[in-house]
Amino acid sequence: MTKKTLSRRTVLKAGAGTTAFALAGSGPFHFIRDAWAQDYRNAPTGSTVTLGFNVPQTGPYADEGADELRALKLAAKHLNGEGDGGMLNTFVYKNGEKTALDGNGINGKKVEFVTGDTQTKSDAARASAKRMIEADGVVMVTGGSSSGVAVAVQGLCQEMGVIFMSGLTHSNDTTGKDKRRNGFRHFFNSYMSGAALGPVLANAYGTDRVAYHLTADYNWGYTTEESVKQFTEAQGWETAAAVRTPLGAGDFSQYITPVLNSDADVLVLNHYGKDMVNSLTQAVQFGLLDKQVNGKQFQVVVPLYSRLMAQGAGDAVKGIYGSTNWHWSLDDEGSKAFVKSFGQEYGFPPSQAAHTCYVQALLYADACQRAGTFRPCAVVEELEDFEFDGLGNGPTLYRGADHQCFKDVLVVKGKENPESEFDVLEVVEVTPVEKVTYDPEIFGGQLGPCNDGV
């Protein structure tokens, strides 16, 4: 055993050693040399092109993730000309012309994909996306569930120079203050949910209501609460209180009891996933819906619905209003084609998460096909202000100013007499796109320049 911990000599030696390592460390710069040979990152050279499907396979949103992955695999299949082609048959441009995609891959290259697990954590999601970009050579990353993950991965794709087609993300920030030139969102957002819900709620429940908000205590909850408040107050409603609840609380009884003692006659649950299932079920168990306040029947509202959640909540969703991006019971040609091929493949109807991911994959592929290249900046140019139809939501615009899709928003209600376990929501109103469109400046943020990654 040595007696002294540090002698002058050891310090000198250590210093010399460190310098040597530092010098050795600067040697391997030849590694990055090859990156300059391409004129954009991960330019596909062989007969295939690889896409990255980055979805939560474990963690609280694993159900949504599994459904997204199913849809993305289906999209890859259809792009390669296998299966019945799904929405490739209904996808049309503004002028009614059919999509440039011909079932022969993208730009003549067969579509391959790699998968990853985001764990619904931004760190894990970025690690997984980085693996796809650095090790697997993907030109595009899609998927995700949760806005935090979407914003984090979008930032990464911007820095590294690939395209990000976000999946399920509902926060205003994704195309608001955190928007990026290389990132695109087909899904709707909190603002559009609020804009669609406000008038419908006023019609159904009157204009002199008092609302009580329970809000998931994180970014998505805040933006949803803010938007719903804004639009219900515009209809004449008052807001009694807005209470933040911890994420994943499990038991919401301590938050629901004060609602009974307030003079509110509507409860708005800005919750998602398991939280929504729990809080809604408990609100119903507490008998809120049977109560009379101020001479009016008490009501509950869930701003963001998904079929997977509604199934989880069971009978509790009956008669409860909310908004959704897409629903499998829609009877336009695109939705029918998608539901049919998804059903044939997996034996049950797709969720809205599956739909938005499938559509994003198709939109990306189509933009590459029209651009004739996978170069990110060229794809960005094709997608900005692109108008299309036949993908299940009616005529849609990919707005260039913030990369947000504008389309009709569905207001849905829990079905009173469901015919099957999947038939839990009914569409009560399709809010036209003009009513949910907003000025891109209101959320701040900048797109910045596009990045080719070299």
Partner 1 sequence: MNKVLLGSESKRSDWILLVAFSIVVLLGPYILAPFGAGYPDLLQRFAIFGIFAIGFNILLGLTGYLSFGHAAFLGVGSYTAVWSFKLLSMNPILALFFAMLLAGVFAVAIGYICLRRAGIYFAILTLAFAQMSYNLAYSVLTPITNGETGLQLSQQDPRAIDALFGRDYGAALPVSDLFGIEMTGYPGFYFCGVILIIAFYISIRIFRSPFGMKLRAIKSNQNRLNYVGINTKPYMLVAFVISGMYAGLAGGLMAVTDPLAGAERMQWTASGEVVLMTILGGAGTLLGPVLGAGIIKYFENIFSAFNEALLMETFSFLPAGLQETLVAVLSLFVGKGWHLTLGIVFMLIVIFLPGGLMEGFRRLVNLFTRPPDQGKSERAPAAQAQPAE
Residue with tokens 């991006």: 325
Three-class SS of residue 373? coil
Q: Which residues bind partner 1 (CB under 8 A)?
A: 1-2, 5-6, 14, 17-18, 21-22, 24-26, 28-29, 31-32, 35, 57-58, 62, 66, 114-117, 121-124, 126-128, 130-131, 134-135, 146-148, 151-152, 155-156, 158-159, 171, 173, 178, 217-220, 222, 244, 246-247, 446, 448-449, 451
Min CB(53)–partner 1 separation in Å: 9
Q: Kindly state the smallest distance separating residue 183's Cβ from partner 1, in Å.
A: 13
Shortest gap between Cβ of 217 and partner 1 (angstroms)? 4
Q: How far is the CB of 236 from partner 1 (least distance, A)?
A: 31
Residue 2 neighbours by CB distance under 10 Å = 7
**Are 69 and 56 within 8 A, CB to CB?**
no
Provide the minimum distance between the beta carbon of 226 and partner 1 in the complex, in angstroms, as a whole number: 14
Contact 323, 410 (CB under 8 A): yes
The smaller minimum CB distance to partner 1, of residues 130 and 415, is found at 130
What is the closest distance, in whole angstroms, from the C-beta atom of residue 247 to partner 1 in the complex?
A: 7
306 three-class SS: coil
- At closest approach, how far in Å is the CB of 173 from partner 1? 6
Give the nearest distance from C-beta 303 to partner 1 in angstroms.
17
- In terms of Cβ atoms closer than 10 Å to its own Cβ (0-12, 13-18, 19+), residue 9 is exposed
- Any idea what DSSP says for residue 154? H
Q: Which is nearer to partner 1, 244 or 415 (CB)?
A: 244
- Within a 13 Å sphere around the CA of 106, how many CA atoms are in the beta-carbon half? 29
The secondary structure of residue 234, as a DSSP letter, is H
Q: How far from 403 is each of 136, 164, 184, CA to CA, in Å? A: 26, 11, 5
Return the residue matching tokens 């008669």.
319
**What phi and psi values does residue 285 have, to the nearest 5 degrees?**
-60, -35
Query: Residue with structure tokens 């829990």?
Result: 414
d(CA 326, CA 344): 19
Q: Is the alpha carbon torsion for 355, 361, 365, 366 positive or negative?
A: positive
Residue whose CB is less far from partner 1, 57 or 356: 57
CA dist., res. 149 & res. 119, Å (int): 9
What are the residues whose beta carbons fall under 8 Å from the beta carbon of 290, sequence distance 6 or more? 298
State the minimum distance, in angstroms, from the CB of residue 171 to partner 1: 8
- Neighbouring C-beta atoms of residue 5, cutoff 10 Å: 6
Contact predicate 121/60, CB 8 Å: no
Distance CA 411, CA 97 (A): 30
Whole-number minimum distance, CB 389 to partner 1, in Å?
32
Q: Of 6 and 37, which CB lies nearer to partner 1 in the complex structure?
A: 6
Strand partners, 212: 241, 267
Looking at the Cβ atoms of 116 and 198, the one nearer to partner 1 is: 116
293 CB neighbour count, 10 Å cutoff: 18
